[in-house]
Structure 1
Amino acid sequence: MSRSRASRRRGLAPLLLAALLALVLAGCGADAGTDAGTDAGSHDSSVAAGTAGGTTEAPGAAPPSGSGHASGHGADTTRAAPVALRPGERRDRLAMPEDYTPRAPTGVGTDDYRCFLLDPATTRDQVITGFDVRPGNPDVVHHVILFRVPAAGVAAAEERDAATPGQGWTCFGDSGLSGAGGGGLDDAPWLGAWAPGGREQVWGRGLGVGLGEGDRVVMQVHYNLLQGAAPDRSAVDLRLADRTPQTRLLRTVLLPAPVELPCRAAHADGPLCDRAASLSDVKARFGEGPGSTADLLHLLCGELQPGPVQTCTRPVTTRETVRGVAGHMHLLGRSIEIEVDPGTPRARTLLDTRVWDFDDQGSRRVRPTVLEPGDQLRVTCRHDQELRDRLPAFEGQPDKYVVWGEGSTDEMCLGILQVTRP
């Protein structure tokens, strides 16, 4: 890659981060085990033990009409008993103080992103060693993401909360708070997340996500209103332990790729089958900033090439060890793959989800996989317009040119790595 191209990509990272943070789901809850230090039974039920070259997964099935895919909800919500605390750990429940009834804040569409400021009352540096997100109303909760608010930013967060009528504030794109920390796509500033199929997450011994003295937590909830706007009061149980010099802090790397899925030939006369019209529709529903992600991704990943398969390759910039992997797409997703150095003798596959299941977005544990500066990471996604004919969520919706968007009936292509660094 030329120096100018590499510089341009680095410059895009902050813009893309703002547009992507609120869109990233299961990977922030990656079950990041170590070779010998993980606790059997402490992992999400969807996690499969990894092999040296990647992960293994139980085969899925294409989503049938009438499945949980109908609205992005309806996954099994039966709760397993909490995993026993390990020595030195404690639980802290953070919950919305009252019910919130979602609405489409722009008056258009069927999605609401709302951020709630929560106080873990930390009096010393801690690490989050696991968490259990508890969606209050699974019929409307599409996903939950936990963002860290550093102590220095708490006053601004409280001001934002107080200035917004009702509980919390609208937050398409990210937490809506400037200076919330994080280092772009290679170091996204969140603490954890839940998506359909998620269960309690417990990381391996000696691993955790930092939470400093006086920090707060923003809980962002994406509400999907396809089944109506019913009240919700979600919560999260944090597993906390004191941070020690031996603690290895987990970081999250985002690997987005474009989505450019044209209408089917037999439906190409629809009003949103023109890309520009479809992009304008996304911006009308989510705002100019988040709505511009589709174009920003092409500056990061390469020229626009419409089709069902999209890919993006980015270089590794620092030595890191992959502990967990995940992928994220929406209802039209078919498959997703994350590779290291594809097409070379050093090629490795970190994630190969050949049959995408929206209702099973639990992350996958891999044996520690070391990446070096100069390695190449590639994410590849395949989407399929034919799924419109099988899923009730699309009933009455004509084909449209699908680009990256935040709604449940829009699409995404996102690989997620959870890593530790020296």
Structure 2
Amino acid sequence: MPTRPRRTRRALATLLAAGLLALSACGGSDGRATQPAEPASQPAAGPAPEPASEPGAEPPAEPEGAGHGGHYAEPARSKPLRAGETRETIAMPGSYTPSAPYGTGTDDYRCFLLDPQLERDTWLTGTQVLPGNPEVVHHVILFQVPPGQVAAAEAKDAAEEDEGWTCFGGTGLDRFQDVDNSSWIGAWAPGGTETVTKPGFGTRLAKGSRIVMQVHYNLLAGQQPDTSAAQLRLAPGKRDYEALTTMLLPAPVELPCRPRHSDGALCERAAALADVKERFGAEGNTADLLHLLCGGEPQAGEVQSCVRTLGEPITIHGVAGHMHLLGRSIRIEVNPGTPQARTVLDIPVWDFDDQGSRPIDPVRLEPFEQVEVTCRHVQWLRDRLPSFEGQPDRYVVWGEGTTDEMCLGMLQVTHP
């Protein structure tokens, strides 16, 4: 795997910055508790058989309102504050009613500029997102805005009507955003709870910093007004904490149509890619660029991976993965293919409603060591999930929408 120049990795990040978990998230909830078991095979023609249930699994629950395509998760109860910590609640300045910004598609990404009133340097030690209208809010990502970017953020906010601004991908404030050191500081997604750092760790927020709240609205659930908020857990900046950052590990998605559907209008990769670009504008060309980060040319298949070679030492403290509704499994491995190989995240049956980050025992990696993310996506889930009802098969590439796909690993790291 050839090592790509750092400037190339950074140029990609603005296009890769949507969709995560309690580090971030994205996509649409279909109301299932766990994914159905995979069918043994698919017939060449005719309706797909009902996949058998996972051994010992209960049938998926159908929550109230699931027919609207919305996710109805309530904010989790806050965890007790530790000595010296305080909470600051920041909210959207006003109500916002989502709509398709380019006149087509079923998703709206909107960024809102929030002011936590930081009068001195501070450590952020946890976040709790409070989705105001969970019927239409499908994920929320929080980004820090350093003091030097506040004026640009205010100008962007003022340039569009209504609250906030359109922001597929990232916040739109950085032409290049470093995948090795993202500005993400927290998020809410299905299964997400309040995130709290380990004692002695935090994210540094400089005096005068602002927060951008990026909200993904799923228009399949309707176009209802929303006013979301977040709670920041803060600790005094004079404390000698280790600074945490987020490293992103995107990999391509190149999922072809099933043979019996291959004559569909969007089953050619070029047509599917053009459709993504029409719905998401400039941020829709991620699938064109991921092979530059990961090496090689796009190759159709259910399983895709990406190996990253480190340019500096890191210590991994937490891991998370993100896919959408066609995701089946995800794995993150360090030093793949060597005697030192170690799996730090393994989700053999992906559950969209359980996307929280996972703390791990610290793993120290040195320059030139590698990290690999591997995802598997399957088309047969289209036949099982309400979000795809009435939608034809398509060649699936990386996209921001509820029924598009992603393959994304996330590492919470410190740098010595």
The alpha-carbon deviation at position 185 of structure 1 amounts to 1.1
When structure 1 is superposed on structure 2, of 157-166 and 67-76 the one drifting more is 67-76
Aligned to 2:263: 269
Cα deviation, residue 62, structure 1? 10
Which residue, 372, 376, 383 being the options, matches 1:389? Answer: 383
2:287 to 294, 301, 319: 294
Q: CA separation of 1:201/1:63 partners in 2, compared to 1, >3 Å: closer, same or farther? A: farther
Map of 2:31 onto structure 1: none
* Conservation of the 8 A alpha-carbon contact between 2:122 and 2:207: yes
Instruction: Give deviations 1:225-251, integer Å, cap 9, x for gaps.
Output: 111111111000000111236210101
Instruction: Indicate if the aligned counterparts of 2:69 and 2:386 stay in contact, CA closer than 8 A.
Output: no
| Correspondence 1:212 to 2:206 | yes
* CA–CA distance in structure 1, aligned partners of residues 83 and 110 of structure 2: 35
Q: How far apart, CA to CA, are the structure 2 residues paired with 1:28 and 1:374?
A: 27
- Unaligned stretches of 5+ residues in structure 2: 26-54
What is the distance in 2 between the residues matched to 1:380 and 1:190?
A: 22
Task: Tell me the equivalent position of 1:98.
Answer: 94
Aligned partners of 2:138 and 2:218 also within 8 Å: yes
Once residues 241 and 206 of structure 2 are traced to their aligned partners in structure 1, the CA distance between those partners, rounded to angstroms, is 14
CA offset at residue 201 of structure 1?
A: 0.9
CA contact (8 A) 1:28 1:252 kept: no
Return the structure number with greater relative CO, CA threshold 8 A, min gap 6.
1
Would you say 1:188 and 2:185 are equivalent positions?
no
SS in 2 for 1:241: strand
Alignment of 1:14 onto 2:10 = yes
1:410 maps to 404
Give the letter aligned to residue 371 of structure 2: L
Q: Distance between the aligned counterparts of 2:12 and 2:319, measured in 1?
A: 20
Note the alpha carbon deviations across 1:173-207, whole angstroms, 9 max, x for none: 2101137x95x111111211111110111111111
- Residues 28 and 331 of structure 1: CA distance in aligned 2, closer, same or farther (over 3 Å): closer
The alignment partner of 1:250 has SS state of: strand
Measure the CA separation in 2 of the matches of 1:69 and 1:331: 14
C-alpha distance after superposition, 1:100-156 (max 9, x if no partner): 110000010000000001001101100110011001111111111111111111112
AA aligned to 1:176 is G
Match for 2:196 among 199, 202, 206? Answer: 202
Taking a change above 3 Å as real, the CA distance of residues 60 and 354 of structure 1, as seen in their structure-2 partners, is farther
Offset, 1:295 = 1.5
- 2:252 maps to amino acid: P
Which position in structure 2 is the counterpart of 1:133?
Answer: 129
Deviation of 1:359 after TM superposition, in Å, equals: 1.0
Letter in 1 for 2:327: G
After TM superposition, list the pairs within 5 Å mapping 1:242-391 onto structure 2: 242-244=236-238, 246-287=240-281, 289-301=282-294, 302-391=296-385
In structure 1, distance between residues paired with 2:57 and 2:409? 21
- Asked whether the equivalents of residues 24 and 139 of structure 2 are also in contact (C-alpha less than 8 Å), the reply is no
SS in 1 for 2:304: strand
Letter in 1 for 2:390: G
Contact 1:25 1:193 in 2 (8 A): yes
Once the two structures are superposed, residues 75-116 of structure 1 have per-residue CA deviations (whole angstroms, 9 ceiling, x without a partner) of 542x44321111111100000122111000001000000000
Please report how far the alpha carbon of residue 11 of structure 1 lies from its aligned counterpart in structure 2 after TM superposition.
Answer: 3.0
CA RMSD after TM alignment: 2.1
Stretch deviating more after TM superposition (315-324 or 376-385): 315-324
Counterpart AA for 2:124: I
Greater displacement, 170-179 / 262-271: 170-179
Task: Determine whether 1:74 maps to 2:74.
Answer: no
Helix, strand or coil at the partner of 1:223: strand
Q: Secondary structure at the match of 2:273?
A: helix
Which residue is 1:54 aligned to? none
Partner of residue 160 from structure 2, selected from 157, 160, 164 = 164
Quick one: which amino acid aligns to residue 245 of structure 2?
A: R
One-letter amino acid of the structure 2 residue matched with residue 121 of structure 1: Q
With over 3 angstroms needed to count, the CA separation of the structure-2 counterparts of 1:232 and 1:83, relative to structure 1, is: same
Over 3 Å counting, the alpha-carbon distance change for 1:80 and 1:164 in structure 2 is closer
Aligned-partner SS, 1:22:
coil
How far did residue 73 of structure 1 move? Answer: 4.1
The 3 A distance-change label for structure 1 pair 95 and 210 is same
- TM-score, with length taken from structure 1: 0.87
Query: Where does residue 421 of structure 1 map in the other structure?
Result: 415
**Counterpart AA for 1:106:** Y
Work out whether residues 121 and 204 of structure 2, in 8 Å CA contact, stay in contact via their aligned partners in 1: yes
Q: Name which of structure 1's ranges 381-390 and 201-210 shifts more when overlaid on structure 2.
A: 201-210
CA distance in 2 between partners of 1:80 and 1:196 (Å): 11
Residue identity matched to 1:346: Q
1:61: how far off?
A: 6.5
Deviations 1:340-393 (A, max 9, x none): 112211010010001101111111110111111121101000001000000000
TM-score (norm 2): 0.88
Question: Which stretch of structure 1 is more off in the superposition, 225-234 or 329-338?
Answer: 225-234
Rounded Cα–Cα distance in structure 1 between residues aligned with 2:21 and 2:57: 21
In structure 2, what is the Cα distance between the partners aligned to 1:63 and 1:109? 31
> SS of the residue aligned with 2:134?
coil
Residue 119 (str. 1) matches residue 119 (str. 2): no
What amino acid sits opposite 2:130 in the alignment?
A: R
Aligned-pair identity in percent equals: 61
In the alignment, what sits opposite 1:40? Answer: none
C-alpha distance in structure 1 between counterparts of 2:266 and 2:80, whole Å: 51
Structure 1 residue 64: Cα displacement? 4.4
Determine helix, strand or coil for the equivalent of 1:400: coil
Distance 2:382 2:374 in 1: 21
Q: Number of aligned pairs?
A: 385
